[in-house]
Amino acid sequence: MSVYKERVSVTLGKHYLDFLARLVEEGIYMDRGSAIRAALRLLFRFHGIPPFARAFPVRSGKVLERKERKKEDDREAPTSGKEGPICGG
């Protein structure tokens, strides 16, 4: 079974490029792509999207807002107190 992949081009500012280079230089990630994929996994987790989800969580044909997902998650299990990844703009 083959996994579908597609190359995506993203333009990043110097700040992000420098930070990615530092992560690679320090041996935290093998390459920039690995660091970006790890960041995407954190982003998806933050928004309540499970790994390898085929679709976004939906209700009545619309994507659930973050607050709605959080309410549903709170009903299922207690939170760790973490709000999510810290991102720079």
d(C-alpha 28, C-alpha 62), whole Å: 38
pLDDT in tens, 30-64: 999 999 999 999 999 998 888 776 655 555 545 55
Instruction: Answer yes or no: is pLDDT of 68 > 80.
Output: no
Where along the chain do its domains lie? 11-46, 55-79
Give burial (CB, 10 Å; 0-12/13-18/19+) of 85. exposed
**In the prediction, which pLDDT does 78 show?**
47
d(C-alpha 42, C-alpha 5), whole Å: 19
Task: Give phi and psi for 29, each to the nearest 5.
Answer: -130, 150
Q: Global pTM?
A: 0.56
